[in-house]
Amino acid sequence: MEKQFLIDDFKAGEAWRLFKIMGEFVEGIEILHDVGPAVSIFGSSRIKPDDPIYKKTEEIAALFVKNNFAVITGGGGGVMEAANKGASKAGGASIGLNITLPFEQKPNQYSNIKLEFKYFFIRKVMFVKYATAYIIMPGGFGTLDEFFEAVTLIQTHRIKPFPVILVGSDYWSGLIEWIKSRLLVEKLISSEDVDILQIMDEPEEIVNAVKKVVTI
């Protein structure tokens, strides 16, 4: 028979995880509460420094800093490293929200504000809570996860709407066409939901689009 009262079935010591979770929330809020206007930049951790995407990410992050925005990333390599590098070299707040993983994720050296998370969901709250825009560079499952979570939260009015910008029309246009041709046509989403998404290529265009809706 399926157990009905799952909360009563906590194993000895299991409830102590709640204090660890609470601790991560408290640390994140204490450190980031006065960060000011910020953009969260996402993308693949596997992008190399000689990749044009790395260079463009670095340029975008630096341009945001020059326009008085802080830059938040996942704190790892690839696109995250590029964004933190661009932000720190431009003299701004370069925030890395690193996640503890058994492989792939190592903190980069360019974040000047660092936090370490064990739980993905707490880290995601920090990305959303302190962001005035989401900048999505090319990436894989993790990038898609952050992208679709932000879109879902905006769609369901759980957070205030903010710009969600996909950088790279050559990379993202196929996904957007599929969303329009399947989800929209089959009435699984509305046209207003599609309007949440923007595709852009030029760093200046991206920063200006965010500045139009964010008061500094």
- For residue 30, what are its two tokens? 């204490």
Domain for residue 96, yes or no?
Answer: yes
Q: What is the mean pLDDT of residues 89-94?
A: 97
Domain for residue 1, yes or no?
Answer: no
Considering its fold, how many domains does the chain have in total?
1
Between CA 185 and CA 181 the distance in angstroms is: 5
Domain for residue 137, yes or no?
Answer: yes
Domain for residue 79, yes or no?
Answer: yes
Label residue 2 by pLDDT band (50, 70, 90). Answer: very low
Strand partners, 165: 135, 198
Q: Which range among 10-14, 143-147, 158-162 shows the weakest confidence by mean pLDDT?
A: 10-14
Domain for residue 140, yes or no?
Answer: yes
Instruction: Examine the pLDDT at 108 and tell me if it is beyond 70.
Output: yes
Continuous segment of H or E residues that includes residue 212: none
- pTM of the model as a whole: 0.89
Coil, strand or helix at 145: helix
CATH number for the domain harbouring residue 160: 3.40.50.450
Domain for residue 8, yes or no?
Answer: no
Between CA 57 and CA 162 the distance in angstroms is: 20
Between CA 202 and CA 215 the distance in angstroms is: 21
Q: What is the mean pLDDT of residues 57-86?
A: 97
Q: What is the mean pLDDT of residues 3-21?
A: 63
Domain for residue 34, yes or no?
Answer: no
Domain of residue 94 covers: 39-211
Question: Tens digits of per-residue pLDDT, 168-210?
Answer: 999 999 999 999 999 999 999 999 999 999 999 999 999 999 9
Question: Count of alpha carbons within 13 Å of 178, Cβ hemisphere only?
Answer: 5
Closest C-alpha to 41, from 87, 73, 76, 86? 73
Q: Which range among 97-106, 160-169, 206-215 shows the weakest confidence by mean pLDDT?
A: 97-106
Please report the pLDDT score of residue 139 as a whole number. Answer: 97
Neighbours of 22 (CB within 10 A): 11
pLDDT over 70, % of the chain: 91
Please report the pLDDT score of residue 7 as a whole number. Answer: 46
Q: What is the mean pLDDT of residues 120-146?
A: 95
Q: Are 130 and 143 in contact (CB under 8 A)?
A: no
Between CA 65 and CA 79 the distance in angstroms is: 16
Closest C-alpha to 122, from 52, 20, 37, 35? 20
